[in-house]
């Protein structure tokens, strides 16, 4: 391969990487509701107080499942969180990406403090969130587990999708919506965690996002 072809290949790969990065102008469309519209109503749950840990609330009996593509999204709990974005990762492939284009790793309490985060190496891949430190942990490991989580974001409408697309690591965000179980017509399902105390497989929240804002 001559130098010209190498340069062309590098430019093409660079453009492809930029296009699928969080910095591109591409805003992934939210999954469509079964009536063919891009979105339907997404009522807000009870809202968390400023500075408080995430608020999880009961689902009203009147709230019906959301219908997206070939799937039903069963609300499991209301969910409202104010947190710092520790990392973000976009996904364009896999069954989960049909519903959730982005994972956000979020931290609250001391997991939002620079003094703690400066001592942690935080990464995301394969729908997981990982962290490590050198020497002694900056705070007790159990506190890290209780005060941070990787969350799979399902935007409820184009406005939420655009707001999610604009979120960057280091920012503080408020997210209000519902923890859900996704049940597809072919039997595939994806269920949210309902506790901030767990870790490992199944420990991530699956959030149907009604509203997201940045500070």
Q: What is the pLDDT of residues 84-123, one digit of tens each?
A: 999 999 999 999 999 999 999 999 999 999 999 999 999 9
Confirm whether 34 is domain-assigned.
Answer: yes
Looking at residue 21, what is its pLDDT? 47
Q: How many CB atoms lie within 10 A of CB 72?
A: 18
Could you tell me which residues are beta bridge partners of residue 172?
Answer: 84
Confirm whether 22 is domain-assigned.
Answer: no
Confirm whether 89 is domain-assigned.
Answer: yes
The structure's pTM equals: 0.82
DSSP per residue, 150-215: EEEEEESSHHHHHHHHH--TT-EEEEEEEEEEEEETTS-EEE----SS--STT-SEEEEEEEEEE-
**pLDDT tens profile 55-87:** 999 999 999 999 887 899 999 999 999 999 999
* Percentage of residues of the chain with pLDDT beyond 90: 75
Could you tell me which residues are beta bridge partners of residue 83?
Answer: 173
Q: Per the structure, how many domains does the chain have?
A: 1
Region 152-158 average pLDDT: 96
Confirm whether 140 is domain-assigned.
Answer: yes
**174 — phi, psi (to 5°)?**
-120, 130
Looking at residue 200, what is its pLDDT? 80
Confirm whether 57 is domain-assigned.
Answer: yes
Looking at residue 69, what is its pLDDT? 79
Q: What pLDDT band is residue 30 in, cutting at 50, 70 and 90?
A: low
Looking at residue 70, what is its pLDDT? 85
Confirm whether 151 is domain-assigned.
Answer: yes
Tokens representing 176 are: 């209000």
Based on the number of CB atoms within 10 Å of its own CB, is 143 exposed (0-12), middle (13-18) or buried (19 or more)? middle
What sign has the CA pseudo-torsion 155, 109, 85, 101? negative
Parent domain of 73: 28-214
Confirm whether 6 is domain-assigned.
Answer: no
Phi-psi region of 69 (alpha: psi -120 to 50; beta: other; left: phi over 0): left
Lowest mean pLDDT among 32-46, 54-68, 118-132, 139-153: 32-46
Confirm whether 12 is domain-assigned.
Answer: no
């Amino acid at each position: 391969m001559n130098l010209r072809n190498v340069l062309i290949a590098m430019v093409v790969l660079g453009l492809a990487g930029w296009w699928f990065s969080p910095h591109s102008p591409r805003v992934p469309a939210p999954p469509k509701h079964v009536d063919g519209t891009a979105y339907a109503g997404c009522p807000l749950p009870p809202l968390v107080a400023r500075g408080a840990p995430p608020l999880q609330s009961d689902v009203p009996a009147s709230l019906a499942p959301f219908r997206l593509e070939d799937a039903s999204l069963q609300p499991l709990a209301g969910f409202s969180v104010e947190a710092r974005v520790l990392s973000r990762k976009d996904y364009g492939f896999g069954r989960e990406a049909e519903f959730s284009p982005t994972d956000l790793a979020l931290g609250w309490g001391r997991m939002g403090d620079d003094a703690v985060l400066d001592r942690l190496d935080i990464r995301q891949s394969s729908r997981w969130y990982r962290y490590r430190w050198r020497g002694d942990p900056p705070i007790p490991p159990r506190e890290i587990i209780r005060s941070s989580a990787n969350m799979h974001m399902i935007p409820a409408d184009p406005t939420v999708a655009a707001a999610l697309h604009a979120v960057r690591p280091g920012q503080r965000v408020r997210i209000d919506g519902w923890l859900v179980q996704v049940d597809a017509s072919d039997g595939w399902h994806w269920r949210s965690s309902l506790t901030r105390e767990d870790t490992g497989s199944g420990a991530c929240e699956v959030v149907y996002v009604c509203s997201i804002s940045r500070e």
